[in-house]
Each structure stands twice: as C-alpha cells, then as structure tokens.
Amino acid sequence: MSAIEAAFILAAGRGERMRPLTDSTPKPLLRVGGKRLIEWHLEALARAGVRRVVINTAHLAECFEPALGDGARYGLTLRYSREAERLETGGGLLNALPLIEAPRFLLVNGDVFCDVDYARFALAAGDLAELLMVDNPPQHPRGDFHLDGRRLQSEGEPRMTYAGIGLFDARLLEGWQAIIGDTDDSRRQPPRFPLAPLLRAHMAQGRIAGLHHRGRWEDVGTPQRLAALDAALRASEPHGPG
C-alpha cells in the first residue's frame, strides 16, 4: 500500500489544439478506450493507495462534478479547486494546497495517458520532487531536462521529456515569489505563475529527482492522437494504467 495519500490533477486548461472537441467538453473528460481520460488516472491512483484527489478546474469547470461526482465510485474522495481564470501550473497548485492537505502528493496532468504504477514514486531525504521522465516523443524532440542517474538537471545532454506526472513535496513552493519575481501575475490574488522556474531553481540545488518510465505514455494533444490512442486501447486487452 502506498504511503502517498493525496494527489492533485491538473485539469484547468483550455485544450486549444483539441478544438472543436474541447469547445463543449474539457480535455480530461474526453473519452478514450471506453472511459474518460481522467478516469484512467483516478482508477490507477486508487489502486496505488491514494485516497484523496484534488482536481483544479477553469475551462468548463461546471462539467467535472456531474461527470465524476464525489469520487466514491473510484474509491476516492474528490475535491474541486475552481479557478475563475486559469492560474497556470504553479499558481493552480499553490491555490489548491489547502484542499490537498498533505506534505507530499502526486501531481498528474489530466490530459496525458500513462501506464505508470503510481506506487513506484518515493522521495529521498532532501528531495522536493521526483518527476516522471519519458523518451522524447516526435512532437517534442528536444525534451525538457537531462537525467543524470536519478538527478534532473536543466542543462545537459541527452534530454528527456517531463511526462507531466510526479511526486511533490509542498515545500517546493516555499519562497516562490523570490524565484518568479515581482510581476503583475505574481501580485494577483490568487497569483498566476508557472511551475517550471521553481523546478529549475531546485534542480540547481540537486533537489529534484527523475524516474525514467519506459512504458506507455501519450500526450493526448490533438484529435488525431486521441483517436490513435483510442484505437490502440480498444485493440489491446488487458489495457490501462497500473
């Protein structure tokens, strides 16, 4: 049983590249392989022992609770962190921390598909995050970070792609203002800022780990990739994360 009790799913994006599908349905609620994309994550999180999940919403926020309910059908407790305007990854996480109520939690991009076992994640002493890394897909050939053993670095070759999934320590957000700087967005209430600058700053201190995932991962970024994944999942048995 996993010691990780909470997770945060990012689901506030507009999904511009998925239009017109996302004009009426939030991207994480699009169906693939017979269920909603976000449901693959919810089921896998429950299997790994997670019991509480917070979902941030902005675009078509009113669609989520009718579709997913309170989480009981997945063996979870679901909470919703509504954003009047999308706060980006860092701002959305900071805004949701009071609902997450955990010093460590899994963070999952709701618009990716991955068959990782969430129970694999573990933070070493002093680490502030462990990011799931995958081989660079065709649409992102330059990658994001360099994985040196288990340490992630913002510079260096070869580079790998951040899968949008990781285990995070809430202390990662401490001092975020000093890293982001004084901007109109950072002075907003709640503030809006990306997570990547915080990750890079802590990589420089050797406090961000990486976990190489060699299984299935899909950035479901276009209708064509959604259709291809749907066909692949329907053709394979058994299928799905975990």
- pLDDT tens for 100-149 read 999 999 999 998 999 999 999 999 999 999 999 999 999 899 999 999 99
Residue 183 lies in a domain: yes
- pTM (predicted TM-score): 0.93
The CATH number linked to 14 is: 3.90.550.10
**CA–CA distance, 199 with 190 (Å, rounded to integer):** 20
Residue 31 lies in a domain: yes
How many domains does the chain contain in total? 1
Look at residue 182 and tell me if it is in a domain. yes
Question: Which position has the token pair 């939690």?
Answer: 105
In a domain, 121, yes or no: yes
pLDDT at 191: 95
Residue 241 lies in a domain: no
Q: Is residue 92 part of a domain?
A: yes
Residue 240 inside a domain? The answer is no
Q: What mean pLDDT, rounded, does the chain reach?
A: 92
Q: Which residue from 210, 46, 50 is spatially nearest to 133, judged by alpha carbons?
A: 210
**pLDDT per position as a tens digit, 51-82:** 999 999 998 889 999 999 999 999 999 999 99
Q: Is 242 part of a structural domain of the chain?
A: no
pLDDT at 238: 56
Could you tell me the residue range of the domain that residue 202 belongs to? 6-235
What's the CA gap between 14 and 16, in Å, rounded? Answer: 6
Neighbour tally for 26: CB within 10 Å: 28
